């Protein structure tokens, strides 16, 4: 049996991030049972629909790496109760109708062959034997989106919020001194 290739997305760009270290530890645990291929995301341009007909080289490279993989692994920090960038999880839970004895511990969804902009719907998922989705209609589960890069305006807004919170905390400390 051929060794499966796993496209690995590390959601943190820091060279020494705990996510990168975790991915490397998983690779070491897999040993020769899988080949980890780390997908570069730090050079991706911001998404621009004008490029849909002719993707930049970085976007084409990412799509080719995902298409060529047997599995995709996301090792990423939580970000606003979701994951940053590449995968936007729309539904974190899928309600199933299934016999109690057949309740699955997990459902794996393949992203193989999908492109940036693709949406995975409940109808696309192979459910365990005897299970049916309780949701009516074709509910979206996840969408593959390009990562976003903070702009100077975002960083300025974050700095202003931090400054305001710091000033607010200092004012609260001054008010509490008299108690």
* Domain match, 35 and 99 both: yes
What gap in Å lies between CA 148 and CA 144, rounded to an integer? Answer: 12
* Domain match, 167 and 84 both: no
CB neighbours of residue 74 within 10 Å: 19
Q: Confidence class of residue 32 from pLDDT cuts 50, 70 and 90? A: very high
pLDDT, one tens digit per residue, over 38-90 is 998 888 777 777 877 787 888 888 888 888 888 888 887 665 555 555 555 55
How high is the mean pLDDT of the chain?
76
Average pLDDT for 110-138 = 77
* Domain match, 177 and 158 both: yes
* Domain match, 71 and 99 both: yes
Whichever domain contains 80, its CATH number is: 2.170.120.20
pLDDT at 178 over 90: no
Cβ distance 41 to 74 under 8 Å? no
Q: Structurally, how many domains does the chain consist of? A: 2
CB within 8 Å of 148: residues ≥ 6 apart:
46, 47, 84, 85
* Domain match, 103 and 160 both: no
What gap in Å lies between CA 87 and CA 118, rounded to an integer? Answer: 10
* Domain match, 105 and 49 both: yes
* Domain match, 175 and 140 both: no
The pLDDT of residue 34 is 92
* Domain match, 124 and 81 both: yes
* Domain match, 43 and 124 both: yes
The pLDDT of residue 161 is 76
* Domain match, 75 and 92 both: yes
Average pLDDT for 145-164 = 68
* Domain match, 141 and 159 both: no
Q: Confidence class of residue 121 from pLDDT cuts 50, 70 and 90? A: confident
Q: What is the pTM of this model?
A: 0.47
Q: What is the dihedral of CA 120, 124, 127, 133, to 10 degrees?
A: 80
Domain that holds residue 177: 153-179
Cβ distance 99 to 156 under 8 Å? no
The pLDDT of residue 128 is 80
pLDDT at 27 over 90: yes
């Amino acid at each position: 049996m051929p060794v499966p290739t796993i496209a690995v997305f590390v959601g943190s760009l820091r060279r020494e991030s705990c996510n990168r270290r975790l991915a490397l530890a998983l690779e070491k645990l897999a040993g020769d049972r899988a080949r980890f291929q780390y997908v570069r995301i730090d050079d991706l341009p911001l998404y621009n629909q004008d490029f849909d007909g002719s993707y930049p080289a970085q976007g084409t490279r990412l799509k080719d790496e995902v298409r060529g993989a047997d599995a995709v692994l996301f090792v990423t920090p939580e970000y606003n109760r979701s994951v940053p960038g590449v995968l936007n999880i729309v539904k974190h839970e899928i309600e199933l109708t299934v016999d109690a004895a057949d309740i699955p511990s997990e459902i794996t969804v393949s992203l193989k062959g999908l492109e940036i902009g693709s949406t995975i719907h409940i109808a696309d998922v192979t459910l365990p034997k005897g299970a049916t989705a309780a949701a009516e209609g074709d509910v979206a589960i996840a969408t593959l989106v390009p990562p976003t890069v903070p702009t100077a305006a975002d960083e300025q807004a974050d700095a202003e919020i931090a400054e305001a919170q710091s000033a607010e905390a200092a004012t609260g400390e001054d008010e509490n001194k008299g108690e």
